[in-house]
Structure 1
């Protein structure tokens, strides 16, 4: 009976997304047979929920438009996801720690005992990922201002601090992207008549413009792909004990996609770019460069060149000593 109730609750949460799904699709999500799904749908109908049958190609079942769900309907997996998200959000947004803690406490109180036990198993302690040096948490008010402009499709006037003096830009904000623990705005800059991927921590919005704009097609067809392949997105080289650079015989967009966090990519030619990055040791830094499997030139500083020579010698000796060497 408990399994049936848990499954019915999960089915209700799936219907809460508003999608129309076939019995086979619902069965695959729940790990049961289509016949069991139909019985669970009858159970929900007996409880007063309006579950519509959508006929024709692509039909299935969906929640009726007049149906009101309870204030909180989380299945076990959703509860865990929400609890983890509420614990980690202060790492990327400032000014929300107290609100996130209160929301997490409310969520715990609303959970059944079993779901609460599973969620608490994912309690997150403050930890530092030493392979990444993310920017400090973003001011939640800045994210709210930009996010509101995106939702309303209103122009944003903002100060942007790049490599030089701050500049005032008129932006058509399209999407916010969080990648490698950093916030980026994907926007069309009217002054430059071009698309930009911009670090949100360098943006200071002015007062709302209330001026609408028509949404454009984002480059790459996807804002995340655009951010990941844009080399001049405002990143700066992180502080490491060892830091160096080299010119790689690869397009800047390719290197930007796979460069470690805290590195910078500088466009040189259509097929080459300079990558600046850091590591705990010079051999470690040399190893990171080699992972790109491309010709490298103009290597700086001398310590990095020495580490590459040392690796070449060690690899050569290993190959000669090994089977068939």
Structure 2
């Protein structure tokens, strides 16, 4: 969870997707992730619109919240960057009657997502592609990306927004959900002491959970998207919803300890428990935030 200090790259160099880093996390084991995810296999912050919602209901509420900001119309094409196991695309087809294209760097997610979409009763186009946005160059009407940008190195942020702008028409819309960090120099003024345990946890996330990635700051999202031709029209913070999501994931994983170890190992189980519990703590204390940004081109 190291905050970025983004500098605009001078040229588009080394623009191959980081397959190995992403697959190290997401291709660990579908069975393992299924032990703590809800049945929709959604791996991002849920939205507890009501206190009595189950995790599955809250994940659907989050998906509906995000899709509802895109002004989708039947027949449009929606691009899902970092599409996970396909729950957002499935909902978009079922609720808005759109064509979908999903991009993922995970072999497991690609196979699972395509099988999921193939089972839908629709004539709309539905493709899940094992590639990054760096390898994509097709026109689409809308873009959604839920917690994928954290897997990008900071130097990819500007090219990412430039690519999204290029994919969209002049009136295109995009919803981006991202975990946000704060520069260390701001921590004291926010009332957050700088202690070694927090710094070590940030290094743990960067090395053991999401190698090659980095958590953006709010300014990264706003300034770099604006430079690419977007206007951020709305930012909705969902911090408390991520605390609850992470706590539910941790509780479910702990309850399935034996199955988790059988699917992976005791070391992997302990690593992910540390990750889920520690991230919940970061959101509770304001070290991390979760923002859902609505962007309009032009």
Q: Please report the TM-score for the alignment, with normalisation by the length of structure 1.
A: 0.24
Structure holding more helix per residue: 2
Q: Please report the TM-score for the alignment, with normalisation by the length of structure 2.
A: 0.26
**Higher CA-based Rg:** 1
Structure holding more strand per residue: 1
